Amino acid sequence: MKKFTILFLFSLTLNLLTTCTTSDDKKSPNILFIAVDDLRPELGCYGNEYVKSPNIDRLAENGIVFTQSYCQSAVCNPSRASLLTGLRPDRIKVWDLRTDFRDTSPDVITLPQHFKNNGYHTVGIGKIYHNTLPDSLSWSEPKLHIAGYPFDPDAVYRDEKNVASLEKRKQKIIAEGREKRYIDRIGEWYLKDVAYEIVDAPDDVYFDGAQTDVALKKIEELSNKEKPFFFAIGFYRPHLPFNVPKKYWDMYERENIPLAKNNFVPKDAPLMAINNLRELRGYTDFKTILHPIDGQLNEDQTRALKHGYLASVSYIDAQVGKLINKLKELRVDDNTIIVLWGDHGWKLGEHASWCKMTNYEIDTKVPLMFSTPQLKGKSIKSSRLIEFVDIYPTLCELAGIPIPETLEGISALPLFENPDRPWKKAAFSQFLREGIWVAPDGIEYMGYSIRTEEYRYTEWVNWESKELVAIELYDQLADPDENINIAGPEENKSIITELSEKLKLGWRAALPDN
């Protein structure tokens, strides 16, 4: 059986590489690597009927969509660091927004760095790694910069009132002797401005549209190089603030937008499991909102935020469409593999909460799709469990370059051929409730979560003492929204014992049998 499997994978890989070869005998496929900040599976290709995402859906029609894909941590820096190193957060010791993986794992070879070492010209633009922690070793040339935008351009305002308000507070900070650069930081004294604005302007008035224009020119340049390219483009929306042109807001009728049905805190959930909304309170128009256990947003606030999120998704969808069209225009689409992913999920009122930063399904479940020339028109969907650490080895195998033995994921290429075949028995995520995201009791906790086909089980430990302090169990078949923690009833003790053991055994024990 083992020999058969090896021969099958070799044959499949050979077929993929042969199909990706172009008429000019270019043997290696290009890679277009698209990261979208805070994008949950709120897309037409995931069965959503009200979101407008025709271009991403078009991408999905020529590839494979993973409907049960999970990030390793539902917050930007550890999620991206894990994906781009192919290593889990505990391995690289990156659990927060501050830690640079180069400080904890200086010799690690990242995904784009590995492609660079294997003959690719690698280029990055926008938010690929965490925005404040770019990695120069990954790229063949300096990261592209967009003139007129700050180093961290996620909160750029164009409405005159918002610009004036922001400038007034900047001057106040300077007068107090504080550094002007801190205005973009989230904190009591360093608030951003409002959580959304609606400006009647072209796409390039905001960073994502402007960087798309630069990216289109770069793709043309890269397509004329002898080397294949690995081009990574990181979009900031739909991250807060929801600042996108008016025409994308106009795509939706606010009063018709469906709202979350489970707008309440999960029953019997421990306090540290709930997001404290510190991110949303970083905006002036939401700075007085309560912790989810104390209250929730009113309907007007809820509809406005969800409207802004959907408009932001459609704005990014339009940018993705421009990239796809450019590849086709240059006739390199038949030799380019596209992977699109959102770095974690995002709550839109579910669990009376907003943003990310929990171990729940709504935060850890992510969009992930590969569009490849050999799958054109096939529109494959796989419901098998897959993790972000699997992207690195999958792209390596698709491109025909060696897969590093140190990686903690596996290539998902067999699912391209047979999307329903037996696969991973579990996916693993974790989240550190620390710093400004600390639990209501002021203690820092790490939550380790295992997601099987039937259950999600989470263990919360005191981060200092390592003492187990709380557990959660959710029945994915009876309660897919994870509204009731069933860890308490005696009849579930055997399930908890079994899942706790699997959590301790870790990812290797959850790999496919063959």
Let me know if residue 177 belongs to a domain.
no
Does 226 map to a domain? yes
What CATH number corresponds to the domain at position 249? 3.40.720.10
Q: Which of 142-146, 183-187, 312-316 has the lowest mean pLDDT?
A: 183-187
Write down the pLDDT at residue 438.
Answer: 85
Q: Which of 321, 330, 408, 409 is nearest to 371 (CA)?
A: 321
Predicted confidence at residue 155, as pLDDT, reads: 84
Per-residue pLDDT, 191: 54
Measured distance CA(425)–CA(455) in Å, rounded: 11
Residue 434 vs residue 6, higher pLDDT: 434
The single-letter DSSP state of residue 429 is E
Mean pLDDT of 10-27: 46
Residue 211 half-sphere exposure, CB side, CA atoms within 13 Å? Answer: 28
> What b/e readout covers 109-146, taking b as 16+ CB neighbours within 10 angstroms?
bbbbbbbbeeebbbbbbbbbbbbebbbeebbbeebbeb
Of 179-183, 211-215, 440-444, 465-469, the one with minimum mean pLDDT is: 179-183
183 pLDDT above the threshold of 60: no
Question: Distance between CA atoms of 225 and 26, rounded to whole angstroms?
Answer: 11
pLDDT at 187: 41
Is residue 496 assigned to a domain?
no
What mean pLDDT, rounded, does the chain reach? 91
From the candidates 114, 130, 291, 344, give the one annotated as an active-site residue: 130
Whether residue 298 is predicted with pLDDT greater than 50 in this model: the reply is yes
2 or 476, which is more confident: 476
- Asked whether the predicted pLDDT for residue 18 surpasses 50, the reply is no
Average pLDDT on 331-347 reads 98
Q: Is residue 410 part of a domain?
A: yes
Distance from first CA to last CA of the chain, Å, rounded? 8
Residue at 347 is within a domain: yes
- Nearest Cα residue to 385 out of 347, 429, 342: 429
Prior bond of 112 cis (ω within 30°): no
Concatenated DSSP letters for 216-265? Answer: HHHHHHHHTSSS-EEEEEEE-TTSSSEEEEHHHHTTS-GGGSPPPS--SP
145 confidence band (pLDDT: 50, 70, 90): confident
pLDDT at 11 > cutoff 50: no
pTM to 2 decimal places: 0.93
Instruction: Judge whether 76 counts as a catalytic residue.
Output: yes
Q: Would you say 289 and 281 are in contact if contact means Cβ atoms under 8 Å apart?
A: yes
Pair type for strands 347-348 and 354-355: antiparallel
Position 74 in a domain: yes
Q: Judge whether residue 170 has pLDDT over 80.
A: no
Q: Is residue 494 part of a domain?
A: no
Instruction: Determine the pLDDT at residue 143.
Output: 83
d(CA 433, CA 404): 32
Asked if residue 233 lies in contact with residue 316, where contact means CB atoms within 8 angstroms, the answer is: no
**Contacts by residues 97-102 (CB-CB < 8 Å, ≥ 24 positions apart):** 97/130, 97/132, 100/133, 101/133, 101/135, 102/135, 102/137
Could you say which of 76, 114, 291, 344 is catalytic? 76
In this prediction, residue 188 has a pLDDT band, given cuts at 50, 70 and 90, of very low
Indicate if the pLDDT at residue 270 is higher than 90.
Answer: yes
Please say whether the dihedral angle defined by the alpha carbons of residues 315, 317, 318 and 322, taken in this order, is positive or negative.
positive
Q: Measured between alpha carbons, how far is 142 from 127 in angstroms, rounded to an integer?
A: 14
Q: How many domains does the chain have?
A: 1
Give a yes or no: residue 467 inside a domain: no
Residue 185 has pLDDT above 90, yes or no: no
Q: How confident is the model at residue 17 (pLDDT cuts 50, 70, 90)?
A: very low
Q: Percent of the chain beyond pLDDT 70?
A: 92
> Residue 5: pLDDT above 50?
no
Q: With 80 as the cut, is the pLDDT of residue 19 above it?
A: no
For the stretch 397-418, pLDDT in tens is 999 999 999 999 999 999 999 9
Residue of 171, 239, 181 whose CA lies nearest to 206: 239
How would residue 180 be classed by pLDDT, with cut points 50, 70 and 90? low
Helix 207-223 to helix 299-329 angle, to the nearest 10 degrees?
20
Query: Residue 345: which domain range?
Result: 2-151+203-276+286-425
Q: Which amino acid is at 180?
A: K
Q: What is the pLDDT of residue 121?
A: 98
**pLDDT of 112 strictly over 90:** yes
Best-predicted range by mean pLDDT (11-20, 278-287, 460-469): 460-469
Query: 127: Cβ–Cβ under 8 A, 6 or more apart, which residues?
Result: 35, 37, 154, 234, 235, 236
Which residue reads 């004294």 in tokens?
189
For tokens 């760095």, the residue is 113
